[in-house]
Amino acid sequence: MSFRTIIKHLQCNRRSFIDSISLARFNSSAPAVHPSRRSSISLQFQNVPQLQDQDPYSYLKEDPIEICSSIWVKAFASLPNSSFSDLSGFLSKFDLWVLAYQRSCADVTGSFPPRNAIHSHVLQDLLSLRNAVISGKFSWNRKANPLIQSPNDKSRTHLISKRKLQAMLESDEPCFQDRIVQEVLLKVIEPIFEARFSSKSHAFRPGRNAHSFIRTIRSNFAGYLWFLKADLSEIFRHVDENVVMGSLEKAIKDKTILRLVKSALQSPRQKRPRVEDNDVKKKKRKGATKKKKILNENEPKPDPYWLRTFFNFAPEEAAKVPSYGHCGILSPLLANVCLNELDIVMEDKISEYFRPSKLDSIWRDSINDGCHNPAWPEFVPASGKEKTRKMDYIRYGGHFLVGIRGPREDAVRIRKEIIEFCESVFGIRLDNSKIEIEHISRGILFLDHVICRRIIHPTLRYTSSGGSIVSQKCVGTLLSVTASLEQCIRKFRRVELVKGDRDPEPLPCNPMLYSSQSHTNSQMNKFLETMADWYRYADNRKKIVGFCAYVIRSSLAKLYAARYRLKSRAKVYRIALRNLSRPLIESSNNSAPEYSDLLRMGLVDAIEGVQFSRMSMIPSCDYTPLPRNWVPHHENVLREYIKLQDQELYSELHKVVKRKGLSLPQDEISEIVWGYKTLGACHFKTNVGSEMEGG
């Protein structure tokens, strides 16, 4: 029976639909079997337990959070060069699959379903998916006959047309069951490589983000003259699967996980073939009304306007996300696994390049020596024979910075070595335009922040050899990290809130035309709060956030002037004040109740004033330096927990307590309990009563 005949004559039952397609595929693709072997094969299939006989609730035995925690503890407690070959045991834990299903449902529907609300037939399908992965029968992008359905998929009670089936097979939308498998693989693989990753990378990792990158720049990159700014984002679009598998096999020896990742890399996502516009697309009539979209029952609500606007402000370095075949959410982790090879090589180059000098003011003795305070004045000239030569490296995704304190010839040589390494290991051919050499005086743009130096003239007072106090005025430099106003204006033009780059005249906020004044102000306040937090570590935080507040406030004033027919922004400010907190309700008759009465009755919402209407309301820059050898909080907790699990630590503490003659709380409690048992409760009652009388 052909595939088309099955679809045409199939009944409405979904499970029979899946079973029939599987049977047709098995009959059409299976090779011819000798009659003598048919009996043995049928006997083997009889020995396999049926999925209907397996109770999924019997496999729910552990807490999935404890399983994930055990993986993290095991990864961080092992040696850096150790490998893991027994990870299939974690894949067989059904509780981990249920957690992956919950997270996948949250991504699709926008709500995290509780564990006790998952139906039994869903758990049965999830168990069949787990068994298929363990037995090696799972295949990616299986849209025609998936083992488990998405919660948004309606139960098929009608026939599927050929056009809908073809559209489903050729769509770019990832398969739901693939997302579940990716979640499980991510929970197993991520802890292993997080314990191995370099501290120089700050993207696609828990506890590290753009803020940690900027703070590291401010704390560790003072005193560098030359910077190498490189773009390796080409590895996000295409990477050789042998490079990824070679990096994975250094830490993972489990064949099941390696087979799953390799099959996901080898199967590219199918794209729809381009069809001529005359055949498919119909010309839209001018002035045609756009139908209002009605969300389905389980369809998640779209992101609010303020969040979509903020996402458009993403820097170039943070907007690029890798995507490899059917790896999905595994792709950023795999990209970091590959680029970790570059991090290790650059750490070796840092230690090789370090040449200390006794005449230097900082970095005098060791590679980590020197003042960690970003306000330390580094006296110019910052290079030469009498100065320490030092290098540092930091990476954010596919972009990285190399700071060099030395001559420009060293920067040219290091750039050449990086180009050769990337071509030999990653297969990426880079030119000088991808790795630029820039001087600190010109400023380096990274993550929409400009890294430059500021000249200062401090006065040094010290005691000379004769005992007299000498005051000497010197010239020094401070590292400055400022937000780029040009990039901010360009992003505002992208969201159509300003007119142009050179003429940043605010435009009306048209997407909020049909929203109330209270809702519009609250949306823009959330956007301004997020922008103020994004520019937290910029030196010109007040200036850049003040400019954002001016654009938003003027855009809303123009919007309100058009909505309420007030003709000008000045009239809007006159009625609603500078922060637009007073209502602009247009009453048609004099008998309309006042806004205060409507607010007291709960018929209208309180209008929240637009924030940062004054420069004094904007918070200042956060200059708190990162501690030396900073690691995220969760890694500190893991290290402390692993240290407490060590028996040698308790034995050493016990020896110290005995040596100093101290008593443990357990000893005091045992003495009290022993005395209570031997002397009795009456003895303690009389002692307590005498103490109370004496008091």
Q: Following DSSP, what letter does each residue of 223-239 receive, concatenated?
A: T--EEEEEE-THHHH--
- Does 37 score more than 60 pLDDT? no
477 versus 38: the higher-pLDDT residue is 477
Within 10 A of 53 (CB to CB), how many other CB atoms are there? 6
99 versus 368: the higher-pLDDT residue is 99
Per-residue confidence band for 595, with pLDDT thresholds at 50, 70 and 90: low
Q: Are 224 and 459 in contact (CB under 8 A)?
A: no
Domain ranges of the chain: 51-153+168-196, 199-253+302-362+371-483, 496-617
Alpha-carbon distance of 622 to 446, in angstroms, equals 19
Per-residue confidence band for 388, with pLDDT thresholds at 50, 70 and 90: confident
Q: Residue 45: its pLDDT value, please?
A: 31
- Does 10 score more than 60 pLDDT? no
Alpha-carbon distance of 423 to 418, in angstroms, equals 9
370 versus 549: the higher-pLDDT residue is 549
Q: Are 297 and 153 in contact (CB under 8 A)?
A: no
SS3 for 297?
A: coil
SS3 for 291?
A: coil
Q: Residue 651: its pLDDT value, please?
A: 81
Q: Residue 325: its pLDDT value, please?
A: 87
- Does 213 score more than 90 pLDDT? yes
Strand 435-439 and strand 459-463: pairing? unpaired
Q: Residue 342: its pLDDT value, please?
A: 94
Per-residue confidence band for 483, with pLDDT thresholds at 50, 70 and 90: very high
The backbone region for 325, taken as left when phi is positive above 0, alpha when psi lies in -120 to 50, beta otherwise, is left
Rg for the chain, CA atoms, rounded: 33
Residue indicated by tokens 């458009």 = 312
Task: State residue 189 phi and psi, 5-degree precision.
Answer: -85, -40
Per-residue confidence band for 291, with pLDDT thresholds at 50, 70 and 90: low
Q: Residue 104: its pLDDT value, please?
A: 92
Q: Which two tokens stand for residue 582?
A: 């007073």
Q: Are 214 and 272 in contact (CB under 8 A)?
A: no
Q: What is the mean pLDDT of residues 317-325?
A: 89
Name every residue whose Cβ is closer than 8 Å to that of residue 522 and which is 6 or more positions away in sequence. Answer: 608
Poorest-pLDDT segment among 138-152, 332-346, 607-621: 138-152
- Does 288 score more than 80 pLDDT? no
- Does 28 score more than 70 pLDDT? no
Q: Are 144 and 21 in contact (CB under 8 A)?
A: yes
Q: Which of 515, 511, 493, 494 is nearest to 502 (CA)?
A: 493
Share of the chain above pLDDT 90, in %: 42
Highest mean pLDDT among 4-8, 128-132, 663-667: 128-132
Q: What is the mean pLDDT of residues 581-608?
A: 65
Instruction: Read off the pLDDT of residues 566-584 as tens digits, 9 standing for 90 and up.
Output: 888 999 999 899 999 888 8
Within 10 A of 560 (CB to CB), how many other CB atoms are there? 23
Q: Are 227 and 437 in contact (CB under 8 A)?
A: yes
CA neighbours closer than 13 Å in the CB half-sphere of residue 237: 5
248 versus 680: the higher-pLDDT residue is 248
Q: What is the mean pLDDT of residues 273-286?
A: 44
Q: Residue 524: its pLDDT value, please?
A: 94
Per-residue confidence band for 601, with pLDDT thresholds at 50, 70 and 90: low
The backbone region for 663, taken as left when phi is positive above 0, alpha when psi lies in -120 to 50, beta otherwise, is beta
Element housing 665 (H / E): helix 665-679
Long-range contacts: 295-300, Cβ < 8 Å, 24+?
296/152, 298/108, 298/109, 298/151, 298/152, 299/109, 299/110, 299/152, 300/108, 300/109, 300/110, 300/111
CA neighbours closer than 13 Å in the CB half-sphere of residue 179: 18
Within 10 A of 465 (CB to CB), how many other CB atoms are there? 5
Per-residue confidence band for 659, with pLDDT thresholds at 50, 70 and 90: confident
Q: Are 542 and 620 in contact (CB under 8 A)?
A: yes
Q: What are the Cα distances from residue 515, in Å, to 509, 523, 563, 578, 605?
A: 11, 10, 10, 20, 12
Q: Which two tokens stand for residue 275?
A: 């069809």
Per-residue confidence band for 36, with pLDDT thresholds at 50, 70 and 90: very low
Alpha-carbon distance of 499 to 551, in angstroms, equals 11
Poorest-pLDDT segment among 72-76, 367-371, 563-567, 657-661: 367-371
Q: Residue 155: its pLDDT value, please?
A: 55
Q: Residue 19: its pLDDT value, please?
A: 41
Q: Are 482 and 473 in contact (CB under 8 A)?
A: no
560 versus 271: the higher-pLDDT residue is 560
Position 619: which residue type? P
Alpha-carbon distance of 598 to 517, in angstroms, equals 15
Within 10 A of 334 (CB to CB), how many other CB atoms are there? 26
| pTM exceeds 0.75 | yes
Name every residue whose Cβ is closer than 8 Å to that of residue 656 and which is 6 or more positions away in sequence. Answer: none
Residue indicated by tokens 């996502």 = 269
Highest mean pLDDT among 25-34, 411-420, 574-583: 411-420
Instruction: Read off the pLDDT of residues 102-154 as tens digits, 9 standing for 90 and up.
Output: 999 998 888 888 988 889 999 999 999 999 999 989 989 888 788 888 887 76
354 versus 606: the higher-pLDDT residue is 354
Q: Residue 468: its pLDDT value, please?
A: 83
Per-residue confidence band for 259, with pLDDT thresholds at 50, 70 and 90: very high
SS3 for 392?
A: strand
Q: What is the mean pLDDT of residues 608-614?
A: 90
Q: Which of 652, 659, 657 is nearest to 668 (CA)?
A: 657
- Does 686 score more than 70 pLDDT? no
Alpha-carbon distance of 284 to 162, in angstroms, equals 26
Name every residue whose Cβ is closer than 8 Å to that of residue 663 and which is 6 or more positions away in sequence. Answer: 657
Q: Residue 88: its pLDDT value, please?
A: 86
Q: Are 178 and 269 in contact (CB under 8 A)?
A: no
First to last CA, the chain: 98
Q: What share of residues in the chain are helix, strand, coil (percent, to 5)?
A: 50, 10, 40
Q: Read out DSSP for 609-630?
A: PPS--SGGGSPPP--PPPPTT-
Name every residue whose Cβ is closer than 8 Å to that of residue 284 and which is 6 or more positions away in sequence. Answer: none
Highest mean pLDDT among 388-392, 415-419, 452-456, 671-675: 415-419
Alpha-carbon distance of 253 to 568, in angstroms, equals 69
Q: Residue 365: its pLDDT value, please?
A: 63
- Mean pLDDT value across the chain: 80
- Does 3 score more than 50 pLDDT? no
- Does 688 score more than 80 pLDDT? no
Per-residue confidence band for 527, with pLDDT thresholds at 50, 70 and 90: very high
- The residue count of the chain comes to 695
Instruction: Read off the pLDDT of residues 536-563 as tens digits, 9 standing for 90 and up.
Output: 999 999 999 999 999 999 999 999 999 8
Alpha-carbon distance of 74 to 667, in angstroms, equals 33
Q: Are 443 and 452 in contact (CB under 8 A)?
A: yes
CA neighbours closer than 13 Å in the CB half-sphere of residue 238: 3
Per-residue confidence band for 679, with pLDDT thresholds at 50, 70 and 90: confident
Q: What is the mean pLDDT of residues 589-596?
A: 54
- Does 53 score more than 80 pLDDT? no
- Does 50 score more than 60 pLDDT? no
493 versus 166: the higher-pLDDT residue is 493
- Does 272 score more than 80 pLDDT? no
Q: Residue 687: its pLDDT value, please?
A: 60
